[in-house]
Structure 1
Amino acid sequence: MKKGKIFTALMLVTAGIAATGCGAVSTNSAAIKTGDLQAEQNSIPEFITPDLSDDGTVLVDTSILTAHPKYVNYDAGGTTVQMIAVKASDDSYRLSLNTCQSCNPSPRAYFKEKNGRLVCQNCGNTFTMDSVGSLSGGCNPMNIAYETTGDHLAVKKTDLNRYAEKFLSWKGPTE
Structure 2
Amino acid sequence: MGKSKKNKKTTKQQTNYLPFLTIAVVIIAVAIVVLVPKGGLNETTAKNSNASNSQNNISGGNPATLNENGDVVIKEADITENGSFLEYKSKDGVTVGLLAVRASDGTVRTAFDTCQVCNGSPYAYFNQKGNQIQCQNCGNIYSLDMIEQERGGCNPIPIMADEKTVTDTEIIIPADLLEENADIFENWKKF
What TM-score, normalized to structure 2?
0.64
Unpaired runs of at least 5, structure 2: 1-32, 34-54
Q: Indicate the structure with greater strand content.
A: 1
Q: State whether structure 2 residue 140 is matched by structure 1 residue 125.
A: yes
Q: State whether structure 2 residue 119 is matched by structure 1 residue 104.
A: yes
Unpaired runs of at least 5, structure 1: 1-18, 20-40
**Per the alignment, in what secondary structure is the counterpart of residue 60 of structure 1?**
strand
| Partner Cα separation in structure 1 for residue 71 and residue 114 of structure 2 | 21
Calculate the aligned-residue CA RMSD, in Å. 2.3
Q: State whether structure 2 residue 99 is matched by structure 1 residue 81.
A: no
Q: Select the residue among 143, 156, 160 that pairs with 2:174.
A: 156
Check whether the contact 1:42–1:115 (CA below 8 A) recurs between aligned residues: no
Q: State whether structure 2 residue 62 is matched by structure 1 residue 48.
A: yes
Q: Which moved more, 1:164-173 or 1:148-157?
A: 164-173
Aligned to 1:35: none
Q: Select the residue among 58, 62, 65 that pairs with 2:72.
A: 58
Give percent identity, aligned residues only: 35
Aligned to 1:116: 131
Q: Select the residue among 106, 113, 116 that pairs with 1:91.
A: 106
Give 1:44 shift: 5.4
Check whether the contact 2:127–2:134 (CA below 8 A) recurs between aligned residues: yes
Q: State whether structure 2 residue 87 is matched by structure 1 residue 69.
A: no
Check whether the contact 1:113–1:119 (CA below 8 A) recurs between aligned residues: yes
Which letter does structure 2 place at the counterpart of 1:57?
D
Give 1:86 shift: 0.5
Q: Name the larger-Rg structure.
A: 2
Aligned to 1:33: none
How many residues are paired up?
135
1:85–1:126 CA distance, 2 compared to 1 (3 A): same
Give the structure, 1 or 2, with the largest relative contact order (CA under 8 Å, sep 6 or more): 1
What TM-score, normalized to structure 1?
0.70
| Partner Cα separation in structure 2 for residue 172 and residue 100 of structure 1 | 15
Which letter does structure 2 place at the counterpart of 1:161?
E
